[in-house]
A and B are shown apart, each in its own frame.
Chain A
Amino acid sequence: MIRFKLFGSVILLCCGLSRGYAQTNERDLKTFGYFQVSVSHEKSLTGSTENKSFSLQQLNLFLQKQLTTNWTAFINFEFVNSYSSFRNWGAHSLEEVWVSYRASNQVKLKLGLQIPTFNNLNQIKNLTPLLPYIIRPLVYETSFNEILELGEFVPGRAFVQMYGYIPVGAAKCDYAVFLGDSQNINSNPARGQTGVDTTRFFLLGGRFGIRTDNLKLGASVTFDKLDLHETAEFYGYPVADFKAVPRLRLGGDLSANLGKFTWESEVIRVTYDDDYPQFNKDKQFYYGTAGYHWTERLFAYGSYWVAREKFFPLQDRDIYASTVGAVYNLNEMIFLKAQLARALFKASFPSSLRETAHYYFCALSVVF
């Protein structure tokens, strides 16, 4: 009996779903998504490391429902790095769960877990079919989490966002203002339930920009506070002074199209406002990508990325990467990608490190 009920529920669920393309009945629950499968070859020029592997880099599954003319609900499940709970591989997360209200083009509201608008790439960093990259510009590449403190460069989550645009002649002035939690996921069981965002501080941020058909530029900012008392304790600094260190992220982005040529670039600066000159966790990131549409379907690009991190209190770490790649749009739903990258890692502590590596990637990105 239970089996029949389960079978019936599955049938009912499937009947209620529809494929998410084209403007269809607004009451339907739409399911769609994409995945990217890749093969990579990494070779260190200074060491003996050499890795080759296939990977289901990312799978995103969306559920969307137009609740009324103005209200839309949206859920985004993300699975990365060949996710398998059985093998303890990869990760699965609820990336977005929000409902949006559209009063007009000038005023739109998004409530719930969401990726905030910051610079050009933050909001679309996970939309692999839209990006020519296989490995994304450093601070947007989830798999670099062990190399860089990605969450400190760009805001990952917000819970309330108001956004829209105001037409000014042929241009549109975009704005977005958001509120969320400061970055502070608890991974220490001694401090309470793990995985829960135990921050005591809010994150406030936004982006203001202007765009025309061929030019888009904007400035972004976030402000929050971090509890760094554990780090301070480790290095012997007065703990009380590090319980709420203000952090300011500033960003700028510029994208342009000129005939078959494209350009996109960003700059991010992260600063911590404390009273200790020797304390330094400041960070900087820059990237620029020049692209060319060889044909309607073939796009090639070259890109240069720089990430610089100061580590409290002594270490400096820099990564410089140059990359070239191409994407071929097979049929609007399937994209073939190739990318070569050369990365230079430099660190000054605990010992001087200078390592160069080459990376070769091929990938298939599919929208369904």
Chain B
Amino acid sequence: MMSQCFIAASVFLMLGVKTATAQFAVIAHKEVPADTLTQAQILDLYCADIKIWNNKVPVVCFDLKLQSDSRDAFYKLLGKTPSRMKSLWLKKLLMGEGEPPAALSSEEEMVKKVASTRGAIGFVSAAKATREVKVIFVVAKKEK
């Protein structure tokens, strides 16, 4: 419980989010070779522009089925509306260039899936991130 609170607090600080509704964490499988990602990199991952991690493991993105505060905040981070993202995924799908992320029913399922799927990345409310997954720190710009 302490660790979850610590993770949540860290995520809150690193994201610099200002409202209670926007406390979310970008999470990844423990073996994902990245600790920080930029907003642009996360968008590239979710748009299937980046398909493979540096360790050659395929990227597997997860989305949430239902509207939630964390989902809204995550899409806001990407700078896209849900319908715009769905339109981008549809374009990739129909051009044979990629597939939409699997949409999961709950944040608990998101944590389980990300923890058990190599190369996985997802997002949950900051308080739901556990030690089973890696919390990715989102930075404003790519570090040099």
Contacts and interface: CB of A to CB of B under 8 A. Distances in A.
Interface string B82-98: 11001100110111100
B49 A105 contact: yes
A296 B82 contact: yes
B99 A24 contact: yes
Contact of A213 (B51, B58, B79, B87): B79
B87 A130 contact: yes
Nearest to A367: B90
A23 interface: yes
Interface in B80-120: 81-83, 86-87, 90-91, 93-96, 99-103
Given A26-B58, A127-B91, A367-B90, A100 B96 contact: yes
Q: Identify the interface centre among A22, A34, A72, A96: most chain B CB within 10 Å of its CB.
A: A22
B95 A124 contact: yes
A367 B89 CA distance: 12
Nearest to B83: A296
Contact of B90 (A62, A64, A129, A165): A129
A254 B22 CA distance: 35
Interface string B54-95: 001010110000000000000000010111001100110111
B9 interface: no
B51 A102 contact: yes
B100 A130 contact: no
Nearest to A170: B40
Interface residues of A, number: 34
B93 A20 contact: yes
A333 B52 CA distance: 28
Nearest to A60: B94
Contacts of B60: 23
B95 A123 contact: yes
Contact of A23 (B40, B52, B61, B79): B61
Majority DSSP secondary structure for residues of B touching A: mixed
A34 B93 CA distance: 11
A69 B94 contact: no
A280 B141 CA distance: 54
A146 interface: no
B93 A32 contact: yes
Nearest to A63: B96
Contacts of A44: none
A270 B5 CA distance: 65
B14 interface: no
Interface in A197-236: 213
A296 B86 CA distance: 11
A64 B96 contact: yes
A26 B56 CA distance: 15
Contacts of B81: 296
Most chain A Cβ neighbours within 10 Å, of B50, B52, B60, B90:
B90
A275 interface: no
A21 interface: yes
Contacts of A60: 94
B86 A332 contact: yes
Contacts of A30: 99
B61 A332 contact: no
B83 A22 contact: no
Contacts of A20: 93, 99
A21 B95 contact: no
Interface of B: 40, 49-52, 56, 58, 60-61, 79, 81-83, 86-87, 90-91, 93-96, 99-103
Given A69-B58, A130-B90, A367-B90, 9 more contacts: A22-B101, A23-B99, A32-B93, A64-B96, A76-B96, A127-B91, A130-B87, A165-B49, A332-B86
Interface of A: 20-24, 26, 30, 32, 34, 60, 62, 64, 69, 72, 74, 76, 96, 98, 100, 102, 105, 123-124, 127, 129-130, 165, 170, 213, 296-297, 329, 332, 367
